[in-house]
Structure 1
């Protein structure tokens, strides 16, 4: 009887640990810092991000990217402004590989090449994005925002 209880506890623990690892590998929860995605997201808003490859990103998706040498598993706040290398940034994907390059983006191509995307902040006046930096590499992509949660304005 005790052996059966111990075996059941070990199975439950292994399953729980496996689910926790899968969730951690698949999702990221982060907090917005900055103004470049106003009015969509404000500083302090939380977001649930699903880690995806570039092939799963569509124009119009809000994405989180690593700015610099940031490990993909970071839980740092996602910034919507220009930060020191190593921060996460939040932008809207406006063109993915094969899409036409939007006007105002200083790149030599007419079509976004493989392995790259063009991202813009919703608040152009406060955004450092593809209008300044050109393409963002697929290697910088962390994932797509699947849910945003407004911060409590009374906190």
Structure 2
């Protein structure tokens, strides 16, 4: 093999492997680490409304924090397997109560401290008149979840008789992400992987052509015998 053919062959292998790593790695992470869902209710308005598409990072409840928007599956409570979107208000060990103040001045308290919730629809923390007050201690390994539209959300307040309305960590399927940077980065990695594989194919073809040319027989000069 000529030096040029060898170099092209090595480059084809290296570029091809890099392309496969980027492409397959991006596909694997997109399949395992990310998910997507379409909002079907008004319980999280104005943050998310019906028809909005949410990208989420797959994780369990042990990794989420207060204020995170999560997607969960709780068919025993909701009667269906589809994902439900809610916001984490309290984690295991927290005491969650509603509410201090009245009207738009009302605040949910966590461990005795009023929390600011700028995402609430109409600034209504309690959900309006007729919504019962609550004061619960969240069991370990569970989460207290509320909708941002407190006047129209089926959340922990609807299940207060069952462990204070809390949901198990294991019911969490992911944490919503408002950033499209991660999906965009993964898409870029997949596309770059495809391009590199195509480049590797081209380099491989070029290496083969160069090798064939290097093996071409050298013509022998004719042995002319001139008469004496």
Range class of TM-score, shorter chain: 0.7 to 0.9
Q: RMSD in angstroms over aligned alpha carbons?
A: 2.6
Q: What does 1:107-126 correspond to in 2, within 5 Å?
A: 110-126=136-152
Q: What does 1:57-76 correspond to in 2, within 5 Å?
A: 57-68=64-75
- Inter-CA distance 128–32: structure 2 relative to 1 (3 Å threshold): same
Q: Is there any run of 5+ residues in structure 2 with no aligned partner, and where?
A: 99-132, 160-164, 181-228
Q: Which residue of 1 aligns with 2:94?
A: 99
Q: Which residue of 1 aligns with 2:186?
A: none
Aligned counterpart in structure 1 of residue 23 of structure 2, from 16, 20, 23: 16
SS at 2:37 equivalent: strand
Q: What does 1:5-154 correspond to in 2, within 5 Å?
A: 5=12, 8-68=15-75, 84-103=79-98, 104-105=133-134, 110-133=136-159, 134-147=165-178
8 Å contact from structure 1 (residues 105, 132) kept in 2: no
State how far apart, in whole Å, the 1-side matches of 2:154 and 2:179 are. Answer: 21
Higher helix share: 2
State how far apart, in whole Å, the 1-side matches of 2:78 and 2:140 are. Answer: 26
1:87-146 superposed Cα distances (whole Å, 9 cap, x missing partner):
10001111011211334448xxx4312110010111223211100121111111012111
8 Å contact from structure 2 (residues 42, 149) kept in 1: yes
State how far apart, in whole Å, the 2-side matches of 1:105 and 1:135 are. Answer: 12
Q: How many positions carry a matched residue from both structures?
A: 134
8 Å contact from structure 1 (residues 92, 122) kept in 2: yes
8 Å contact from structure 2 (residues 60, 171) kept in 1: no
Higher strand share: 1
Higher relative contact order (CA 8 A, sep 6+): 2
Which deviates more, 60-69 or 6-15? 6-15
1:24, distance to aligned residue in structure 2 (A): 2.3
Structure ID, larger Rg: 2
8 Å contact from structure 2 (residues 69, 86) kept in 1: yes
8 Å contact from structure 1 (residues 46, 148) kept in 2: no
Q: Is there any run of 5+ residues in structure 1 with no aligned partner, and where?
A: 70-81, 150-155
- Inter-CA distance 130–14: structure 2 relative to 1 (3 Å threshold): same
State how far apart, in whole Å, the 2-side matches of 1:13 and 1:127 are. Answer: 45
Normalising by structure 2, report the TM-score: 0.51
